[in-house]
Chain A
Amino acid sequence: MRHLLRAEVRRLLATRLWSGLLLAAALIGGGMMGAMALVGPENFDPPMPGLHTEAGIRAVLGILGYTAFVPAAIGTLAVTSEYRHRTATVTFLFAPRRWQVLAAKLGTYGGAGLIYGLLLAGTAAAALFTATATQGISLGLPTGSVLALLARIGLAMVVYLLIGVGVGALLRNQVAALCVVIGYLYVGEPLLMMIPGANALYPILPGGATASLTDFTYVADAMSQELGSNAVTLVPPAAGALLLTGYALAACLAAVILPMRRDIT
């Protein structure tokens, strides 16, 4: 297993995907958060509560949570490129116990996801505190609470990256897998929120579970108001964390079990 982990780490570090991952974390964390804090949520269209309120902070953090499709897509890209470039054959020749290969991939990408999440949360914290301090805004939540919320978002990114790996291992076709992952997370879930009845499911879907981590209901509330449907009630943060862990586990299990008997052609 040590051999397999080392191989996967080498495989990842030698590609540009790795620097892309770090760059994305810094750009989304520092860049996006910095921009949002400088503009101020009260100037968004539609306007949201300002950063001096708790709701305002939860709003910008919630929006940060919506970028989870990025690590998911990167996980999918990484795992499907083995099939696209036909290295999967060579890999399974060297390591015929396929579940071990996928387990090593999940371990490696779990670690990469953690680095992504930390970098994202760290740069976002730095940008948020710097931007608000220079404007003389005192945040609507204590620093400790903001950091705790950011840490939750960082950890959610690990889960999403692993979900991406799982879907990639499942579908193998790079374009199809990317369409499914980005399409579902970026378009599918928000659409589901608009469908009366189906939106009751939203709290237990990955997006709803992530939103519950920061208790971010602004978008969901706005939608139900617009559509006149019942307001969405998110699950408690702990339950959201549990749900996300469950999704990650399901993705991992699918990734490990399904390739076992499939023919590699």
Chain B
Amino acid sequence: MSGDRQTIEVSRLTKRYGTVAAVRDLSFTVAPGVVTGFLGPNGAGKTTTMRMLTGLVSPTSGTATIGGRPYRKLSRPSRTVGAVFDASAFHPGHTARDHMRVYAALGGYSDSRITELLDLLGLAEAADRRTRGFSTGMRQRLNLATALLGDPRVLLLDEPSNGLDPEGMLWLRGFLRRLADEGRTVLISSHILSEVQQLVDDVVVLRRGELVAAGPLARLAGPPAVLVGSPDAARLAAALRASRRDGDALQVDSVGDGRLRVRGLDAPGIADLAAAHQVRVHELVTESTGLERLFLDLTSAKAEIP
């Protein structure tokens, strides 16, 4: 089974709490082999959707399937899906190994698998310490170790970057990349785009329980634009256009006030070119991408909701 490629399919999913719809008519798919970011401001319905995906919360209507089957219909769910919802989900009096032993028993996995995972996640030294004293990073790794007990083909992580230091983030990025490269399906949620931008290939963006965008990050983000301010803007524009080679997507637009918006060349490239042509540059700003602007709009629009 370990070569299986499992697709997540969410179709017309709705969850109402009384009159409030936490998730509304939501449809998207998550492909195997890539890391998909599930993005949206706090309260957008990300966690509710992920909990419906794993049978913890019952949808009002619609379906959510993994490899074509609802979670509760999977014969040994922990073999197919590994999910992490809470930053800390351990009995404080249990050691890391105690915790793993409970869930290894539940899923029917051997004690050697526990040792293997504790080693893999760098918890071998802390294995026999009570989780009470664990740091955020250690908790996150123990969560992951538990989720990976059944060597699942699908990994769902709710806000995994919460509270992680830059080193932890770097580690997580490498770890998830490796899992995706093995053909696994990886879905991670976040309310902070910049935290996962380096980490994800595809994105699904949610706002107030509804889908606003889905697709490859590169396509949604659009080409990055650089704003250049120069007293010799016309000369710089000519130099930039002259530097264009066949097949380049270089685009230069004058936006007035001695400013140019350049797409297809990054800020260091523009600075080098300007230096080579002895053109003075007073301003050089990389503008936020399309997705960043979209995300910013979403988060600020949230404030207007009564």
Contact = CB atoms under 8 A, between A and B. Distances in A.
Interface of A: 3-4, 6-7, 10-11, 14-17, 81, 85-87, 89-97, 261, 263-265
B95 A265 contact: no
Contacts of A7: 102-103, 105-106
B71 to A, nearest CB: 6
A257 to B, nearest CB: 15
B108 A3 contact: yes
Contact of B58 (A14, A91, A95, A263): A263
A93 B71 CA distance: 9
B90 A85 contact: yes
A264 B57 contact: yes
A81 to B, nearest CB: 6
A85 B92 CA distance: 8
A163 B107 CA distance: 28
Contacts of B146: 90
A261 B58 CA distance: 7
B129 interface: no
Contacts of B42: none
5 contacts: A3-B108, A15-B93, A17-B93, A85-B88, A96-B55
Contacts, number: 83
Nearest to B100: A10
> What secondary structure prevails in chain A residues at the interface with B?
helix
Contacts of B77: 93-94, 96
A134 to B, nearest CB: 40
A4 to B, nearest CB: 6
Interface in B66-87: 71-72, 74, 77-78, 81, 83, 85-86
A87 B106 contact: no
A263 B52 CA distance: 9
B275 interface: no
A263 B57 contact: yes
B89 A90 contact: yes
A94 B91 CA distance: 16
